[in-house]
Homo-oligomer: A and B are copies of this chain.
Amino acid sequence: MPETIEIPPRTGTAFRLQKGQRLRVIDPQGVQVSDLLAFNAHDTREVISNGRTLDYASRLYLTTGDPLYSNRSNIMLSIVEDTCGRHDFLLTPCSKDTFRIIYGHTDPHQGCFGNLAKALEPHGIQPDQIPCAFNCFMNVPIDVKTGMFTVEPPLSKPGDYIDFTAEMDLIIAMTACSAGLSNGGTFKPIQYQISDQ
């Protein structure tokens, strides 16, 4: 059994994932989002791209069988198993600005953006390089007529997970999301496992 590593509530981490390895992102308590980023480990200017991925998928909601593309149109990760089935690839990591603009907080938390920036700094990746994340378990339904969307509690139950296979050597950054709206009003941990398959 691969080791289970826990990301405490409202924090983030970053690590290497080698080509061919499998990453399992687990929501241990349910109703908790994890923002996930991927960078080419050998050239960090190549980064996960929601625009490329959604364009090629012609679909907003991704699940088992879907590839996640980079800004250079290379496949970085493939989704190989998914017990939840609802994730978001539209919105940016929550940040000080999110809490200021959307929540009206006067002393805002650094959010997933700050946590990702801190975790990526030792890998030589600057905050400006952080794109839209693949937001595991995030639930963003859309009103098709108006285009309005809302951020609703995740559909994930305790123990739900999503598995990715690395299609190139990667630096992965992940959070246990810090935004109340995204997580049903509570802040919970996220777990992950890495296996060689």
Cβ–Cβ < 8 Å partners of A147 in chain B: 59-61, 142
Whether the pair B56, A90 counts as a contact (CB closer than 8 A) is no
Contact of A101 among B54, B56, B71, B72 (CB under 8 A): B56
A82 interface contact, C-beta 8 A:
no
Contact of A54 among B90, B130, B131 (CB under 8 A): B90
Q: How far is the CB of A8 from chain B (nearest CB, A)?
A: 24
Whether the pair B102, A71 counts as a contact (CB closer than 8 A) is no
A65 interface contact, C-beta 8 A:
no
Tell me the A residues contacting B by CB distance below 8 Å. 45-46, 49-52, 54-56, 58-61, 71-73, 90-92, 95, 97-98, 101-102, 126, 128, 130-132, 141-144, 146-150
